[in-house]
Structure 1
Amino acid sequence: MEFTIGGRLDVRITPADVGKRVSVRCRTESGGAGAEFTDTVGVLTSWDRGVLSITRKSGESVHIVESSLVAGKTVPAAPARRRGPAASFEELAAVTARAWQPVESEPLGDWRLRAAGGFTRRANSALPLGDPGLPVGEALDRVRAWYAERDLPPYVQTATGAAGTQELLCAELERHGWRREVTAQVRIAALAPVGDGAADVAAVRLTRAPDAAWLARYQRFSTPGPHVLRVLESGPSVWFATVAGDGGAPDAIGRCVVDGRWAGFMAVEVAPERRRRGLATTVMTALARRALDEGASAAWLQVEEENEGARALYDGMGFALHHSYHHYRPSPA
Structure 2
Amino acid sequence: MESTQRFDDRLAALVGQRVSLRRRIFADGGPGPRFTDAVGDLTEAGDGTFVVHARSGPVTVDPDDVVAVRAVPPAPPRRPSWAAVGRLEQLCADAWPPVARRDLGGWRLRAADGFTHRANSALAAADPGMPVTDALAAVRAFAAEHAIPPVVATPEGSPWSNRVREAGWALEAGWAQGSEVAALVADLGALAGAAGPSDGALDVAFDAVPDVAWWDLFGEGPDDPGAAARERVLVPGPDGPESGFGLARRDGDVLGAVRATVVDDHLYLSRLHTDPSARRTGVAARLTADAAAWGRARGARFAVLQVALDNEPARALYARLGCTEHHRYHYLVPGPDATA
Task: Give, in angstroms, the shift of residue 149 of structure 1.
Answer: 1.4
How much has 1:327 moved relative to structure 2?
1.2
CA distance in 2, matches of 1:152, 1:247: 41
Q: 1:273, CA displacement in angstroms?
A: 2.2
**Counterpart residue type for residue 318 of structure 1:** G
Q: 2:231 aligns with which of 208, 211, 229?
A: 229
Match 2:78 to one of 54, 77, 80 = 80
Cα distance change, pair 81–193 in 1 and its aligned pair in 2 (3 A)? farther
- Contact 1:112–1:128 (8 Å) recurs in 2: yes
Match of 1:177 among 151, 162, 168: 168
Whether the aligned pair in 1 keeps the contact of 2:113 and 2:226 (CA below 8 Å) is: no
TM (norm. structure 1) is 0.68
Q: Quote the offset at 1:170 in angstroms.
A: 2.1
Report the CA distance shift for 1:176/1:129 in structure 2 as closer, same or farther (over 3 A).
Answer: same
CA distance in 2, matches of 1:173, 1:267: 29
Structure 1 residue 245 displacement after superposition? 6.6
1:118–1:322 CA distance, 2 compared to 1 (3 A): same
- Gap regions ≥5 residues in structure 1: 1-77
Q: Is 1:301–2:305 an aligned residue pair?
A: yes
How far apart are 1:117 and its partner, in Å? 1.1
Secondary structure class of the residue paired with 2:118 = helix
Q: Does structure 1 retain, via aligned residues, the 8 Å contact 2:91–2:264?
A: no
1:190 — aligned with what? 187
Cα RMSD after superposing both structures? 2.5
Structure 2 SS opposite 1:96: helix
| Number of the residue aligned with 1:322 | 326
User: Normalization by structure 2: what TM-score?
Assistant: 0.66
When residues 267 and 104 of structure 1 are mapped into structure 2, their CA distance, relative to the original with a 3 A threshold, is same
Query: What SS does the corresponding residue of 1:200 show, helix, strand or coil?
Result: coil
Q: Tell me the secondary structure at the aligned position of residue 142 of structure 2.
A: helix
Counterparts in 2 of 1:109 and 1:194: CA distance versus 1, 3 Å: closer
Q: List per-residue Cα deviations over 1:115-167 (Å, max 9, x = no partner).
A: 11111111111122333233222221221111111111111110036xxxx2x
Matched residue SS, 2:180? strand
SS in 2 for 1:244: strand
State the partner residue of 1:54: none
Q: CA deviation at 1:90?
A: 2.8
Change (3 A) 1:141 1:100: same
For the 8 Å contact 1:210–1:240, the answer to whether it is kept is: yes
Q: Check if 1:160 corresponds to 2:156.
A: yes
Query: Of 245, 250, 257, which residue of structure 2 is paired with 1:253?
Result: 257
> 1:23-42 maps to which residues of 2 (within 5 A)?
none
Structure 1 residues 25-174: aligned runs within 5 Å: 79-80=77-78, 88-160=84-156, 166=158, 168-174=159-165
* Alpha-carbon displacement from aligned partner over 1:257-307 (angstroms, at most 9, x marks no partner): 112321111100011222111110111121111111112221111111111
| Inter-CA distance 260–138: structure 2 relative to 1 (3 Å threshold) | closer
CA shift for structure 1 position 322: 0.4
Give the residue type in structure 2 aligned to 1:324.
Answer: R
Q: Deviations over 1:35-90 (max 9, x none)?
A: xxxxxxxxxxxxxxxxxxxxxxxxxxxxxxxxxxxxxxxxxxx74389xxxx9213
Structure 2 CA distance for partners of 1:297 and 1:133, relative to 1, 3 Å:
closer
CA contact (8 A) 1:205 1:243 kept: yes
Residue by residue, what CA displacement relative to the aligned partner does 1:159-207 show, whole Å, maximum 9, x if unpaired? Answer: 036xxxx2x3323322323222201100111111221233337511211
Structure 2 equivalent of residue 207 of structure 1: 207
Q: Secondary structure at the match of 2:247?
A: strand
Q: Deviations over 1:98-120 (max 9, x none)?
A: 11011111122332211111111
Q: Confirm or deny: 8 A CA contact 1:215 1:224 kept in the other structure.
A: no
Secondary structure (helix, strand or coil) at the match of 2:155 reads strand
Question: CA–CA distance in 1 between the matches of 2:87 and 2:139?
Answer: 24
Identity %: 37
Task: Compare CA radii of gyration and give the structure with the larger one.
Answer: 2
Matched to 1:200, the amino acid is: D
CA distance 1:105–1:253, change in 2 (3 Å):
same
- Structure 2: which amino acid aligns with 1:266? S
> Contact 2:126 / 2:160 at 8 angstroms: preserved in 1?
no
User: 1:224 & 1:171 partners in 2: Cα distance?
Assistant: 33
